[in-house]
Amino acid sequence: MLYRFDSDKPTLHANYFDAYAKLLCPWKAEEKALSILEFGIGGFGDEKKGGGDLLTWAEFFPSAHVIVGVDISKKSFHVPPNVKMIQVNQTNEMAIRKICKHHGPFDLIVDDASHMCDDTITTFKLIWHCLKSESIYILEDTQSSYSNTASCSKGVNANWTSINFFKRLIDENNFAKIGKSTGDANFEWSAYAKKLTGIHFYHNLLIITKG
């Protein structure tokens, strides 16, 4: 399917297959009426290109309730009736809230958009409340977290990266049990860490499960 719909996942990111299969195949077996949101439709600025992932989701999950694709560039090509394409910046708070209101909450959210560190973190914060219980959030191409071309800090020891933001959630989630008993009276869970049930780091891929 991915090859047929011209998705970059089987060619550029072959390792994504196994990670996706473990998490998503059970949903397919259940024939759930999923609500899916993906940031980044593909094709860059070409109005007629992209959509490989959206078409893959539509075929892999034929019972999906809605599949929403968000892209900063206008897209105009045929998609199935349950696929919606929306042109908007992924960090536009009002627009994202509107998407959540009309199409959410979501079972699965994938960020494959700008990969800029600020955009990645802002998008996660905006969209977290729009994930259902027992849902999945996926961040692709996490290697860009170490690139100064993505407005991140350069190098493996960099302080300001989107990866470090998500690492911090691990600290919060685990420290919460003993935080105040160790004398850190000011410690407070973030809204994200409170609902976190798991973070999985793969090669260039991050998967978060929400309880």
Structural domain boundaries of the chain?
9-160+197-210
pLDDT (tens digit per residue) in 164-210: 999 999 988 888 777 656 667 677 788 899 899 999 999 999 999 99
pLDDT (tens digit per residue) in 38-87: 999 999 999 999 999 999 999 999 999 999 999 999 999 999 999 999 99
- pLDDT at residue 5 is higher than 50: no
- Of residues 167 and 147, the one with the higher pLDDT is 167
Report DSSP state, residue 97. Answer: H
Instruction: Mark out the alpha helices in the chain (DSSP H runs).
Output: 9-12, 16-30, 52-60, 93-103, 117-127, 162-175, 191-194
Asked if 4 and 53 touch (Cβ cutoff 8 Å), the reply is no
DSSP string covering 21-76: HHHHHHHHHHT---EEEEE--SSTT-TTS--HHHHHHHHH-TT-SEEEEEESS---
What topology does CATH give the domain 9-160+197-210?
Answer: Rossmann fold (3.40.50)
